[in-house]
Amino acid sequence: MKLTWMKWSALPVAVLMAGSVALAQDQSSSGSPQAPPAQAATPAPAAAPAEKPKPTVAQRKENQQDRIANGVQSGQLTAGETAKLEKKEAAINKETAADRAANGGKLTASEKKQVNHQQNQASKQIYADKHNANTAHYANNKVGQRRENQQDRIAQGVKSGQLTAGETAKLENQQKGINKQVAADRKANGGTLTASEKKQINKEQNGASKNIHNKKHNAKTQPQAQPKP
């Protein structure tokens, strides 16, 4: 009787233990609950490149002069081409100065637009003249070397701002006249120059040299553009 009671008393305990073991096995096989897969982070949109500020009227003017100076020094621009380009630049500068004087030193939006349009046209002309078939050839002789030296001095004056566009146009017109005379003399003499012709050309280049010096050291200068703060 006692044994029978103990038998039936132990049965619920055994069942409970078996259930606990089964539950533990089930948890072990299935593992802990899985977290939902993390979603890939959406990349931030790339920042748009900052728009380059448009050059000011003064900066555009200086840029044109630098391009002309480089063309003169490289021989891509002849004296005649340079004279025409600088005459055009001088006219734009004169118009800009008149507009500023009429508006208390400033330019209106429409005036700025007009100046920019004119500089666009001048820019195209600079490019065309620098890439056409006309180039300044300097012969390996005293006349050619003197001519190249004068052009280098003019180019340096343009780039430094010592020469205004108007001054440069006059100097290049003077060089154009000398070059034209040299070409005519050579043509008349089978490609050479006589001693008297060389003497005459040297005298004219001496006068041109003084003009270059005087114009580079007078009170007139091409104002350099100041960078924006």
pLDDT of 36 higher than 70: no
- What is the structure's pLDDT at 5? 44
For the segment 165-186, the average pLDDT, to the nearest whole number, is 97
Exposed, middle or buried, 35 (CB in 10 Å: 0-12/13-18/19+)?
A: exposed
Top-confidence residue, 31 or 62: 62
pLDDT of 49 higher than 90: no
Task: Give the Å distances, CA to CA, from 20 to 6, 11, 216.
Answer: 22, 14, 105
Tens digits of residue pLDDT in 99-149: 999 999 999 999 999 999 999 999 999 999 999 999 998 989 999 999 999
pLDDT of 152 higher than 90: yes
Q: Torsion over CA of 83, 84, 90 and 93, rounded to 10 degrees?
A: -140
- What is the structure's pLDDT at 8? 44
- Separation CA 89–CA 72 (nearest Å): 15
- What is the structure's pLDDT at 224? 75
pLDDT-derived band at 223, boundaries 50, 70, 90? confident
Top-confidence residue, 124 or 25: 124
pLDDT-derived band at 15, boundaries 50, 70, 90? very low
Tens digits of residue pLDDT in 66-88: 999 999 999 999 999 999 999 99
Question: What is this structure's pTM?
Answer: 0.75
pLDDT of 175 higher than 80: yes
Percent of the chain with pLDDT over 70: 76
- Separation CA 57–CA 194 (nearest Å): 49
- What is the structure's pLDDT at 53? 74
- What is the structure's pLDDT at 27? 52
Top-confidence residue, 47 or 194: 194
